[in-house]
Structure formats: C-alpha cells, structure tokens
Structure 1
Amino acid sequence: MATATTHGARDHARAQAGTSTEAMPVVPAADWPSPPCAAGHLVWAETVAGGNYTHRVLARGTELRLTDLRGDACAHLVLYADGRPWERLNTADTVKVQWNAYLSKGRLLLSGQGRVLATLVDDTGGRHDALCGTSTLVRNTERYGDGAAGSPTPAGRELLTLAALKNGLEPRDLPPSVAFFQRVEVGDDGSLRFTGSAGPGASVTLRAEQDLIVLIANVPHPLDPRPQYTSTPLEVLAWRAAPTASADPFWNATPEGRRAFLNTAGFLAAKERS
C-alpha cells in the first residue's frame, strides 16, 4: 500500500491538498463563494455533515448563521462565556425568564447568571426546541445499535463532549443544549410531540452578546421517530458585526429581556480595563 511507510503516508496526505468535500471548513473563511456580509468580515465558514460536530470561539458582536440545507439537519447548540465556562447556556432560565417554551426571532439565550449570551436576530423556521436537549449514548444504542462518537450513528452528547474537550472543558461542563430546525410541540397535558423539520433552507442568525465558546452537533433530534438515523448537512457562517445596543428593539422587547441586557452590560463594563 502507498501509505504503508512514513514517506508513503506523507506523500498521500500531501496529495490531498486542494481537494474538497461537500462537508468541510473553508479556510480562510474569506474564500467562501457567497459571503452574507461585507468583504473581509467573514470569520467562520463550514458545512457540517450529518452525524458530525464543530466548535469555535467567537468575539462579542459576531453574528452566526446556521442553515439547514436539505431539511434534515438538526443543530444542537451549547454556548459558554469564553474564559468563564461556569457561565453557560441555561435552557431552563432561557424558557422561564422569557415566558416562552419556543425559540424564534427576538428570543435571548441566557446564562444561569441572568445575562445574555446570544440574541436570535433572524429566523426563517420558528418554534425551535429548548426543552429536549440532545441524544445520548444509551438512547442511540437502543435505537440504532450504537451511539459512540466514531460510529455511523453518533449521539449528540458524545459529539458535544469531544467539542468541549477541544476547548478545555470536561463532560461535567456540558449543560442541556437547544436544537434548531427539528421542532417539538408541547401539548396541553405537558406531553412533547415531534412536529418535524422547519424545511430545506431554513436558517437562524444569532448575535454573540459576549465572547463565546460555541459547540454544535448536527445529529437527529432525540424525539425524531424515524427508524433510520437521518441527518443532512448544516451550513455554518459567522461574520464580524456589533453587539446589541440599548436603542435596539431587541434590547427593549420585554422587561425581562431588558433586565438581562442590563445585567450583561453592567458585568462587562465592570470587567473592562481602562
């Protein structure tokens, strides 16, 4: 085999330079063919295959757009304040503080400290899931025969664990995630019903309100009833922008949201160095 020796393996690896696949990062991001922002502002451009994951550290003010290219992606998202991993996405507070079980344009992703991690500034799908979290090793093994990260049917938690480790985080640091594009409805009796895809081309855009560690796993929703592991590519684009300001309608949309923005602004002002 050509790769049976060190020199052969090196030559084989170098021969792959310049080749591409459907799902991979574009480096530099500026080479993305149709950026959604001003020239030179794109900082992250990637297509994440079904059953795969990605991660990145984003600066405050960065906007992150996720797009379900074919209608069967499901983006399981976890956020941390960069440098302060104990401040992380709190799905319970995100739901209860805003009096709403569904994520859509204008909703805030909150930390357990009552501060805003990200704002949903655009959304073409609506009613995304903040209740169910992601799939687990045990559940995927029961359903598909395996759920390990290296298997054909990896669980979301296993992939998010790998992404966390690559950012100096441990499994105990993983909170429940939110899920975009595959939706769930809450019945009058509190039961949860899977209602399916937001459709091919659906997208959400998040604005980072703090410096963030972003973890994403693209795997089937845990309530997806289909017997086959079904997950299609997810497009991830991020670009430099500005954080939400006090005159922005998102800041003042609700009393609870305004308080969360004030908590965030006060905290960030106190930690800034003159």
Structure 2
Amino acid sequence: MTKVFTVQAGEKWSGIIGRGRLINMKALGNRSNLSALFFHAPYFSERYNMPDTLKAQHSAYLTQGHILMSDQGKAMISITEDSVGWHDPLSGYTTRSGTDAKYGLTRYQTERNNWYRSGAENFTVEMYRHQLTPRDLTTPVNFFSKVVCELDGSMRYMSQETAGRSVTLRTEMDVLVVFSNTPNPFDPDTGYPTTAIEIAVSDARPLQEDDCCLNYCAENRRAFENTWNAYELMRGAIQS
C-alpha cells in the first residue's frame, strides 16, 4: 500500500514511519527545500547525527548511496535513489527573525495561512506533538538544496533544477520523521518559495547483499550491522 500526501510551501508534517519503508519525495517546482529531522521511534533520545554521518562517508553533501547515521552509530535512513544529486546537511533551518528580515514581516493574525513560517517554528510545533522540546532541535537535512563548502571554510548556496526531480529514502529503523517545507537559510532569493513537495510512502523490498548503501564504504556496513544487532536484541521487547 502507498500513502501519498503533499507538503505545501511553508507547511510542516511529522509522523512515525516503520522500518523497511520507502519515502519518495518529489519536488513540484524549483527552489525546493524540504528540511527534515529524524528520531528513533519510540526511543527519541537516539536521533540523526550530522557529524558522524558526514565524517564516516567523507562527504559534505548527501546523495544516492549515502546513509543517515544515528548518534549511536546505527544506520537510520538510506538514500536509495536520487535524481537531484546534491542535498545539504550543513545549513540548518530558518528562524523567525531571519525570515522577517529577508522576506518581510508577516503575522498569522493578519495574513492567516499565507504568513511566512520559519523552519525553527515548524520543527518546534511538530516536535511538541511527540513530547519533544526545542532543546531536541538538531541540524536537519535540507533535501533539494545545494550548498558548497569553499576552501576558506565559507559556504555558498548554488541553485539547481529540482522541478519534477525526486529522492527516495529507505527506513532502516522505526523513525519519527519531521518535515518543514521552508526556505534554505543560505538561499539569497528574497521571494518566499512557493514549491510544494509530494511525499509517497510505500513498502521497500528486502535488503540485498549488493545494495549500494550497504556497500558504499566499510563504515556504512558497520552501521547496518549495528542496526541489525540492536533490532535482533529488541525482538519481543515491550516498547512504551
């Protein structure tokens, strides 16, 4: 069974997605940026860890073959397909003050649902639904955005065609996913983006030995083995 829904520009979504599912994210226009946080369900103290993910895979961006690692060295998410080619794990999320300064002051009381949301606010609201607080905010993955690290340490936003392109994730653990369709903080355009993202969740095929994510590097295989061992030990345990 496939569940399809759309996250409009400025909107947010969160939910627990079980292990062994595919999450296909398709951009319905350009200037796309879907910020995402990932937590292990139901043990939210374990979550996606950006430094370990990038260090282990010797990369400053994410694409097909990469995995998202937890802060306990487990494989949480695999990127199994990607027609975009570059996703930003470094830039963070937009704030209320930054959104007002770049796009103009808006308020729900006057603009209603047309007001400009920030990533920080969207994440905070959705995380509260799952008993998480602002102290649980970490650096998200900004899918569909390209931010390049220069030799001097500076970061530069680079536009790329995203309309009709997609990226597919596979859940290696039970995960709480938190999405915010808000601008990349490094995007220099002063017009608030209007692109929606279509999300389709379906069942994944069983992992094969020749899987590109499993074999990307030795560190990936160890992360998968950590996940497999943990789930084997948890089998039959009471989860609360």
The TM-score with structure 1 as length reference comes to 0.80
Q: Which residue number corresponds to residue 211 of structure 1?
A: 174
- Count of residue pairs brought into register by the alignment: 233
**Equivalent residues in 2 for 1:45-194, closer than 5 Å:** 45-146=4-105, 152-194=115-157
Deviations 1:218-256 (A, max 9, x none): 011101101111231111110122453555342122111
SS of residue paired to 1:103: coil
SS of residue paired to 1:139: helix
Q: Which residue number corresponds to residue 14 of structure 1?
A: none
Deviates more, 1:115-124 or 1:162-171: 162-171
AA at the equivalent of 1:160: F
Q: Which residue number corresponds to residue 262 of structure 1?
A: 225
For residue 102 of structure 1, report the CA deviation from its aligned partner: 0.9
SS of residue paired to 1:143: helix
Q: Which residue number corresponds to residue 273 of structure 1?
A: 236
For residue 170 of structure 1, report the CA deviation from its aligned partner: 1.4
1:265, 1:51 → 2: CA distance?
36
Does the CA-based 8 Å contact 2:64-2:213 persist in structure 1? no
Q: Which has the larger radius of gyration?
A: 1
Does the CA-based 8 Å contact 1:218-1:231 persist in structure 2? no
If asked which structure has higher relative contact order (CA below 8 Å, sep 6+), I would say: 2
Deviations 1:44-86 (A, max 9, x none): 3111110111112111001000011111221101111111111
Q: Which residue number corresponds to residue 201 of structure 1?
A: 164
Deviations 1:142-193 (A, max 9, x none): 2233477867111111101111112222111121101011211111212111
> Could you say if the C-alpha distance between residues 251 and 147 of structure 1 is closer, same or farther in structure 2, counting changes exceeding 3 Å?
farther
Q: Which residue number corresponds to residue 22 of structure 1?
A: none
SS of residue paired to 1:128: coil
SS of residue paired to 1:112: coil
The TM-score with structure 2 as length reference comes to 0.91
Does the CA-based 8 Å contact 1:136-1:147 persist in structure 2? no
Does the CA-based 8 Å contact 1:85-1:173 persist in structure 2? no
**Equivalent residues in 2 for 1:18-57, closer than 5 Å:** 41-42=1-2, 44-57=3-16
- The percentage of counterpart residues that share the same residue type is 32
> Could you say if the C-alpha distance between residues 87 and 193 of structure 1 is closer, same or farther in structure 2, counting changes exceeding 3 Å?
same
AA at the equivalent of 2:88: D
2:145, 2:95 → 1: CA distance?
17
> Could you say if the C-alpha distance between residues 249 and 106 of structure 1 is closer, same or farther in structure 2, counting changes exceeding 3 Å?
closer
> Could you say if the C-alpha distance between residues 165 and 243 of structure 1 is closer, same or farther in structure 2, counting changes exceeding 3 Å?
farther
1:231 matched to 2:194: yes
1:193, 1:187 → 2: CA distance?
7
